């Protein structure tokens, strides 16, 4: 039975989301820093699942506790799925939205479809599982909202961007939320055995 796990991140937003979703299971979620894992493994996998497992393995080898790690990105239909697995490296820090909006400036509304995709890996010595989540939407025309990070200010879900949603609204529909809910179901069944 898992009562404590480490999330292979120091990103406060990702950590908060995982803690909120897994809280009903009574599982304590630590950041990798809090668990004593000071590492930044090279994410050189070809898929989100591979990158998530690379991170999970690196932290697991240090802490020896159950680890979850995620990799996620924005897959834009009109760009053939780009930036995809390269979302974090698509542009210099803080310029991702501006570059995407520039690249999409001539794309008509009906061709602006996109999906946030997330894979969450769980590694605990006995188990190596990957859980997937997706949130469909579209690329907007300008940055809007302040309640998000990364591509959230330009990713439209209905009439609002991801960055205009409350944390509760976002958790219900987000790609990471969907993957974490799959993880929740898995852990709930396993912990109930």
Q: What positions carry a catalytic annotation?
A: 71
Other CB atoms within 10 A of residue 17 CB: 21
Half-sphere exposure of 101 toward its Cβ, with a 13 Å CA cutoff? 15
E strands of 10-157, at which residues?
Answer: 28-31, 67-76, 113-123, 128-139, 155-157
List b or e across 53-84, with b for residues whose CB sees 16 or more CB atoms inside 10 angstroms: bbbbbbbbebbebbbbbbbbbbbbbbbeebbb
> Phi, psi at residue 88, to the nearest 5°?
-70, -25
Closest CA to 123 of 5, 1, 25: 5
Q: Whole-angstrom distance between the N-terminal and C-terminal Cα of the chain?
A: 9
């Amino acid at each position: 039975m898992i009562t404590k796990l480490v999330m292979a991140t120091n990103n406060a937003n990702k950590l908060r989301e995982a803690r909120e979703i897994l809280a009903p299971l009574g599982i304590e979620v630590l950041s990798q820093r809090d668990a004593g894992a000071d590492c930044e493994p090279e994410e050189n996998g070809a898929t989100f699942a591979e990158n998530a497992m690379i991170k999970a393995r690196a932290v697991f080898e240090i802490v020896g506790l159950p680890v979850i790690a995620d990799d996620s990105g924005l897959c834009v239909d009109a760009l053939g799925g780009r930036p995809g697995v390269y979302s974090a490296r698509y542009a210099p820090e803080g310029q991702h939205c501006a570059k995407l909006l520039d690249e999409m400036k001539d794309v008509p509304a009906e061709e602006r479809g996109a999906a946030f995709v997330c894979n969450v890996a769980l590694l605990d010595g006995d188990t190596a599982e990957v859980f997937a989540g997706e949130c469909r939407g579209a690329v907007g025309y300008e940055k809007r909202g302040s309640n998000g990070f990364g591509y959230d200010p330009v990713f439209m879900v209905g009439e609002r961007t991801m960055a205009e949603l409350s944390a509760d609204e976002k958790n219900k529909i987000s790609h990471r939320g969907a993957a974490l809910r799959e993880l929740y179901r898995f852990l709930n069944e396993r912990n109930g055995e």
